[in-house]
Structure 1
Amino acid sequence: MHADVFDPVSMATVTTAAEFARSSIAAMTPALPLSVQLLLSLLLTKSYASTLTQCPNKPPGRLGEDRLRTCPLPGDLGIIPEHEPTAVSWSFAPRCMAAPAKPDEVPRVDCLFTAADFRNGHGISVVTSTTAASNLVGLGVFPDSPDPAAAARRRAAGGRAYEVVDVPGKGKGVVARRKIRKDEIFIVDYPAVLIGIDFLADAKPHHRRRVIKQAINQLPERTRDRVYGLSRGDGTYEVDSILGANSNSVTLADGELHVGVFPEVARINHSCRPNAYYRFSQRRLAIEVVAYVPIEAGDEILMSYVPLGLKHDERRKYLRDNWGFECRCSLCHAPESEISESQGRRRQMNEMKQTLQDARRDGYYKEAITIAGDLLQFTEWEGMPLLTPEYHDTLADLYLLKGDMANATRYARMALNGWVQFGSVDDDQLENSRRLLQGLANTQS
C-alpha cells in the first residue's frame, strides 16, 4: 500500500528546484537508498534528453514478435552526458509516494508528473514509477518535435475524417465524415492521463482517487474539460467512473502496463466485428486509429474492446464484467453458424501467427512464407486484414533469410512505399525498411 509522502508544493515557495528535490526526498519515510534518491533528484529537478540512437524502439507489428527495450536511466554514468539540455520542465512540483518494501528491497516510488505544454498545449499527467518515468525521458517522448515528412503529407492530404455525434442507444460515438481508405490513419490521439497499473493496484482507494483527481486538474483547461466531459461508467466516485469507461491499456518501453485516457479515442464505441483498430507508439506516446477496411461516409467507426481471439461467450462476459454492457453488435446478433465460423477463423489466425514465428525461428523459411500468405487470406475473410506494409516487411525478412535476394528486394521496396503512404507519426518502421532496402542494394552492387 502507498502512504502519502508529501503534498504538492507551490513552486513559488521553493527557492530552487534542487532545494525542492532535497527537501522532498528527505521527507520520505522510510529512508530511501542512495540510488533511489539520486534518481528522484534527477527526475524532480531536470531530466536529460537522450538521442534516439541511445534508446532504439521498434513498435511491434501484428505479424512480428513483441520487442520491448529498456532505455537508459537519465544521469546514468557514461550514458547521457550531464551537459545535455533539460528535456522536461514539469508544470507542477511532482508529488511522490513510496510503497512499503521489505528491508532488503528497494521500494518502488511512484510520482505524479505534469507537463502542460506536451504536444502543443494538449498536456499530460503521468502517475508512474520513477523507473518508468526515466525510460520515457530516455525515449525523448516529452519534447515536441515535427512530425515525420510522411505523416505531415498524410495529414495535409486527408482532411478531417470523422466527427463525434450522438448515437442512438450508445450516447456519443464517432462517425466518418468522408470515405476512409483501408490502412488509413484517420485519428492520432495523445493521452491526457497515463497511470501505472502497479500504482492502481497498490494504492489505497481514497489515495488513488485523490492523486488521479489532481492529475486531471493539473491539465490545461481545454484538455481537462474534455476528460470531465467523457461518458461515465458505473461507480460512486467520479474518477473511477471516468477511468472505467474511457481507458486504454498500453505497454511502455520498460514493459510496465499503464492505463491511459485518450480523449478522442475514448469516444469510439465497441464492436466484436470492428472496422478499425489502434496502434500505440511508445516513442511518441500516440495512439493511431487505422481502418481495417474501407469505411463509407456516415458509417460509425468501431473498435474491439476485447481481445479478438476470445470465444463468443468469453467476449460477452468480458464486456459485462469490465465495461458493464451487453454487446449488441452485428456479430453477437448473427446466426449461430456465422458466429461459429468467425470463431473458427480467429482461432486459426492465432495458431497461424504462432506457427509462422516458430517456422521462422527454426529455419523453415519456405513454409513460413506459405503460412504468411494463408494468414493474409484468413484475415481478409474475417474482415480484419493485415496492415499491408507490415505484411510486406514480413515477406522481405523471410525471403532474405531464405537467401532469395530478388524477392527480398521486391517486398522491401513494397514495404517502404507502403510505410511512406501510411504516414505514421512514428517513422521507425519506415526507416527500418529504408535501411533494409539500402542494405540489400549494397550486397548486390
Structure 2
Amino acid sequence: MTSPRPSLRSLLCLLTYLARVRAFIPQTQCDLSPLDPLIHRSTTCPLPIHESSPDTPNIPWTTPPRCVVPHSIGLGQKFCLYTDAAFNLGTGISVLTLEDHAASLVGAISDPIPAWTARGHLARRGKRDPDYEKHVPYREVAMEGKGRGIVATRRISRYETIMVGYPAMIIDNTFLPAEGVEAPVENWRMFDHALEQLSDKERFLVAAYSKGDDVHVVEDVLRTNAFGFAIEERDAKAFFPEIARINHACSPNAYPQMIMKDLGMRAVATRDIEIGEEISISYIQIGMPKRHRTASMGNWGFNCTCSLCALEPEEQHASDDRRERLADIYDLMNKQKTTAKLGALRELAAEFEELVELEQLGVRWGEYYQLFMVIFFHAGDVDAAIRYGNLSLRHSEIFGDPDGVFCNGVRRDMKILDQVKRQKAGGG
C-alpha cells in the first residue's frame, strides 16, 4: 500500500499549515502565496537573486541569501546560501551553490504536493510518525551490528517504489574542503547557517557521527551519507535523511532513483523482496570486483559484510572474474563500436547479457543497452539498434530520471533510428 492520495480536505490542511510557516518570512518576500496548486507559480514573483538586493522578492526562500567568496578556493566565485523553511512539509531545505544557480530549483521547491503525497515516509525531528507503517511497505528496526535498518512488512514487487524522500541540504562540491583538510572559517560559518536555518535540524543531525572538532557536522553528514547531485551542471552533494536510513549492500535489492522535477529520491526494488527481508541500496557504484568495492567503501569507515562480500573464496573469485570480463567486453565494444563486425558483436552481446544476469546487475541495463544501440547502428543492424534502444529507455525510466538528460538523449536517438528505418524501407 502506498501513501494515500491527497484529498481536497487534506490539501487545504497542508496549505494552511505551510502558510503558517511562511507567516514568519521576512517582508522581502512576495506577498502572493506560491502554495495554491491552482496558481501558475512561474509568474507569481521574480526568482531569487542577490544578497545585495534587499528589496527583491526571494520566493521560495524564507531567509535572504547569504553569500561569500571563499578565498581558500581561489577561484573568485561567489557562493550563496538559500533556505526554504517551508519545504517538505515544513522540515526545510538549505542550498549552498554559486550565486543564482539555486534558481533552477525554485519550481520544485515551491511545489508542496509531491511531499504531501509522500508524507507517510517522512521522519520528523529525526523520528518517524508511529502510524507510518499503515501507509508504507517497511518499518525501521534495530539490527545487530548495523544499529538500525529498514525491513519489508509485506512482499514488495520488482520495480515497485519502496520509499520516497526529499533533501534537507544540497551543497556544491567545490565549497566542501578536500578530504582530510579542515574547512576554513568562512566555510564553517556558512555550514552553521545552513543547519540553523532548517526548521527541523534533528532530521539532519540524526545521521551525524562525531569525527572530532576539525570536521563540521554538515561536512561529516554530506561526506558519509549524501548522494551525487547536479545544479546547473555543477556537481554537488545532496542529503536525503529518509533514504540515508537504508543500509548498504554491494548487491542491493533496491536502487535510489533521483527525479529532478520534484527533487524526490525513490528507493525502487531491483527484485522481489519478501516480508521481513532487509531493504538495501549500494553506497558505491554497482558492478565492481571485491578489491575495488573494498577501496570505495573506505569513505564510510566500515567493512562490508553483505552477502556478496561474504561469499566463499572460490565463489568470490568466480564473481570477480565475471565482473572483470564484463568490464573487458564493455571496453572492447566501446572501442570497436564503429568497426566491429555483426557476427562478433552478437556473440559479445549474448555473453555480456548472460554475465549481467548472473551478477544481478540489471540496474545498469539502461547504460549497457544504450551502448548496444549505438554499436549495432554503426554495424548496420538498425532493427537490433531499435530493440536495444527501447530496452535502454525502459530500464532508464525505471531506475533513472524519466525526464533527465540520459532518457531524453535515448529518445532523440530513437527518433533518428526510426527515420533511418523508414528511409531504408522507402518511406521517405
TM-score by length of 2: 0.67
What CA distance in whole angstroms lies between the structure 2 residues aligned with 1:172 and 1:405? 50
Residue number among 164, 167, 174 corresponding to 1:198 in the alignment: 174
Shift of 1:290: 3.0
Match of 2:68 in 1: 97
What CA distance in whole angstroms lies between the structure 2 residues aligned with 1:339 and 1:183? 27
1:187 matched to 2:163? The reply is yes
CA contact (8 A) 2:25 2:62 kept: no
CA RMSD of aligned residues (A): 4.2
Residue number among 111, 125, 139 corresponding to 2:80 in the alignment: 111
What CA distance in whole angstroms lies between the structure 1 residues aligned with 2:212 and 2:173? 19
Residue number among 323, 344, 347 corresponding to 1:346 in the alignment: 323
Structure 1 residues 106 and 17, CA gap change in structure 2 (3 angstroms):
farther
CA contact (8 A) 2:26 2:62 kept: no
Match of 1:144 in 2: 111
Structure 1 residues 306 and 441, CA gap change in structure 2 (3 angstroms):
closer
CA contact (8 A) 1:101 1:107 kept: no
CA contact (8 A) 2:333 2:375 kept: no
Higher relative contact order (CA 8 A, sep 6+): 1
Q: What are the superposed Cα offsets for residues 282-327 of structure 1, whole Å, 9 maximum, x if unpaired? A: 55534333333322221112223234465535544553x4222233
What CA distance in whole angstroms lies between the structure 2 residues aligned with 1:146 and 1:390? 31
Shift of 1:225: 3.0
In the TM superposition, 1:136-285 aligns within 5 A as 141-144=108-111, 160-201=136-177, 204-221=183-200, 224-230=201-207, 232-236=209-213, 239-240=217-218, 243=221, 246-252=224-230, 254-282=232-260, 284-285=262-263
Question: Percent identity, aligned pairs only?
Answer: 28
In the TM superposition, 1:317-336 aligns within 5 A as 318-319=296-297, 321-336=298-313
Shift of 1:163: 2.6
CA contact (8 A) 2:257 2:400 kept: no
Deviates more, 1:351-360 or 1:277-286: 277-286
The count of residues paired between Structure 1 and Structure 2 equals: 358
CA contact (8 A) 1:183 1:388 kept: no
What CA distance in whole angstroms lies between the structure 1 residues aligned with 2:110 and 2:375? 37
Match of 1:312 in 2: 290
What CA distance in whole angstroms lies between the structure 2 residues aligned with 1:398 and 1:145? 43
CA contact (8 A) 1:376 1:385 kept: no
Shift of 1:249: 3.8
CA contact (8 A) 2:251 2:282 kept: yes
Q: What are the superposed Cα offsets for residues 109-166 of structure 1, whole Å, 9 maximum, x if unpaired? A: 11111133445655321112227436656xx65443987xxx9xxxxxxx73333222
Match of 1:30 in 2: none
Residue number among 358, 361, 377 corresponding to 2:354 in the alignment: 377
SS in 2 for 1:215: helix
Structure 1 residues 228 and 343, CA gap change in structure 2 (3 angstroms):
same
CA contact (8 A) 1:209 1:239 kept: no
What CA distance in whole angstroms lies between the structure 1 residues aligned with 2:237 and 2:79? 15
CA contact (8 A) 2:60 2:110 kept: no
- Please list every run of 5 or more consecutive structure 2 residues that lacks an aligned counterpart in the other structure: 1-22, 31-47, 119-134
CA contact (8 A) 2:287 2:361 kept: no
What CA distance in whole angstroms lies between the structure 1 residues aligned with 2:191 and 2:418? 52
Shift of 1:198: 1.5
Shift of 1:189: 2.5
In the TM superposition, 1:421-436 aligns within 5 A as 422=398, 426-428=402-404
What CA distance in whole angstroms lies between the structure 2 residues aligned with 1:233 and 1:394? 43
SS in 2 for 1:114: strand
Letter aligned with residue 156 of structure 2: I
TM-score by length of 1: 0.65
Shift of 1:336: 1.8
SS in 2 for 1:252: strand
SS in 2 for 1:354: helix
What CA distance in whole angstroms lies between the structure 1 residues aligned with 2:279 and 2:389? 31
SS in 1 for 2:299: helix
What CA distance in whole angstroms lies between the structure 1 residues aligned with 2:223 and 2:51? 36
Letter aligned with residue 171 of structure 1: G
Structure 1 residues 359 and 291, CA gap change in structure 2 (3 angstroms):
farther
Match of 1:355 in 2: 332
What CA distance in whole angstroms lies between the structure 2 residues aligned with 1:280 and 1:339? 31
Letter aligned with residue 174 of structure 2: D
CA contact (8 A) 1:40 1:130 kept: yes
CA contact (8 A) 2:82 2:95 kept: yes
Structure 1 residues 265 and 344, CA gap change in structure 2 (3 angstroms):
same
What CA distance in whole angstroms lies between the structure 2 residues aligned with 1:143 and 1:365? 52
Shift of 1:268: 1.2
Letter aligned with residue 275 of structure 1: N
SS in 2 for 1:356: helix
- Please list every run of 5 or more consecutive structure 1 residues that lacks an aligned counterpart in the other structure: 1-10, 19-37, 47-85, 152-158
Letter aligned with residue 199 of structure 2: P
Shift of 1:190: 2.4
CA contact (8 A) 2:366 2:393 kept: yes
What CA distance in whole angstroms lies between the structure 1 residues aligned with 2:103 and 2:265? 21
Shift of 1:437: 5.6
CA contact (8 A) 2:224 2:300 kept: no
Q: What are the superposed Cα offsets for residues 32-82 of structure 1, whole Å, 9 maximum, x if unpaired? A: xxxxxx974799876xxxxxxxxxxxxxxxxxxxxxxxxxxxxxxxxxxxx
